[in-house]
């Protein structure tokens, strides 16, 4: 258990009517307890400034903050964890340089990658894309729920389904053995972020 079932991943370009920080505050007010800061296009100084701003926000509200790939930024801002992509540092290397209490998440897209992440010391993984979604096109076609079921059977760490997660398919994802769901647009692109967050949180916490 990692202590959350909904993992909100940021993309400031999908926020329609406010700043990213304002959007994240609304999501937190709606019950989101874990956020991954993932703004890969920002220069490192801007990214660090944003990370410090978001860290201040998450500390005030008791929300966990994960930094995507930038282990150095995670250490500087005192994040709760890092989230690693397949092209980044492997978890076994990261574990050597971060405090023991920091969590490591890893993005995976196949059973092989999921097993490697677990062997490398990941605390949890995201797995997908489960469904068709523009943000995950570069990772190939959707892997589907059967692949998710296989991964949740074969690894012993929490698995978060990602890619095309909508309210209509949360029940299927959770019933496939996932610990929780990870998403971007379902919440951040919403007109009422707080309301959508409340609904996604409620649905991901229902017992299956």
CATH number of the structural domain spanning residue 152: 3.20.20.70
pLDDT score of 141: 86
pLDDT score of 17: 80
| pLDDT mean over 126-140 | 78
| pLDDT mean over 42-66 | 98
> Is 99 domain-assigned?
yes
pLDDT score of 135: 59
> Is 146 domain-assigned?
yes
Give residue 95's domain range: 6-205
Checking if the pLDDT of 138 tops 80, the result is: no
> Is 181 domain-assigned?
yes
> Is 1 domain-assigned?
no
pLDDT score of 208: 46
Burial string for 26-43 (b: 16+ CB within 10 Å, else e) reads bbbebbbbbbbbbbeeee
> Is 27 domain-assigned?
yes
Checking if the pLDDT of 71 tops 90, the result is: yes
| pLDDT mean over 67-76 | 98
Structure confidence by residue, pLDDT tens digits, 16-52: 988 999 999 999 999 999 999 999 999 999 999 999 9
Q: Rounded distance, CA 121 to CA 94, Å?
A: 9
Among 181, 147, 144, 149, CA closest to 166: 181
Checking if the pLDDT of 129 tops 80, the result is: yes
Checking if the pLDDT of 146 tops 50, the result is: yes
Checking if the pLDDT of 184 tops 70, the result is: yes
> Is 62 domain-assigned?
yes
Q: What percent of the chain has pLDDT over 70?
A: 96
pLDDT score of 156: 98
Checking if the pLDDT of 57 tops 80, the result is: yes
Q: How many domains does the chain have?
A: 1
């Amino acid at each position: 258990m990692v202590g959350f079932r909904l993992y909100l991943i940021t993309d400031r370009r999908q926020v329609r009517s406010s700043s990213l920080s304002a959007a994240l505050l609304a999501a937190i007010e709606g019950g989101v307890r874990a956020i991954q800061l993932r703004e890969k296009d920002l220069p490192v100084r801007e990214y660090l400034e944003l990370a410090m701003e978001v860290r201040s926000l998450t500390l005030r509200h008791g929300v966990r903050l994960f930094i995507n790939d930038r282990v150095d930024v995670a250490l500087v801002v005192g994040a709760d964890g890092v989230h690693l992509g397949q092209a980044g540092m492997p978890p076994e290397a990261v574990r050597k340089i971060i405090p023991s209490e920091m969590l490591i998440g890893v993005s995976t897209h196949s059973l092989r990658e999921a097993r490697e992440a677990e062997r490398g010391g990941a605390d949890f993984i995201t797995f997908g894309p489960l469904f068709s979604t523009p943000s995950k096109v570069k990772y190939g076609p959707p892997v589907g729920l059967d692949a998710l079921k296989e991964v949740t059977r074969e690894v012993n760490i929490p698995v978060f389904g990602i890619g095309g997660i909508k309210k209509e398919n949360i029940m299927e994802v959770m019933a496939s053995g996932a610990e929780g769901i990870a998403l971007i647009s379902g919440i951040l692109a919403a007109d009422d972020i707080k309301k959508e967050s409340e609904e996604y949180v409620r649905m991901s916490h229902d017992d299956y």
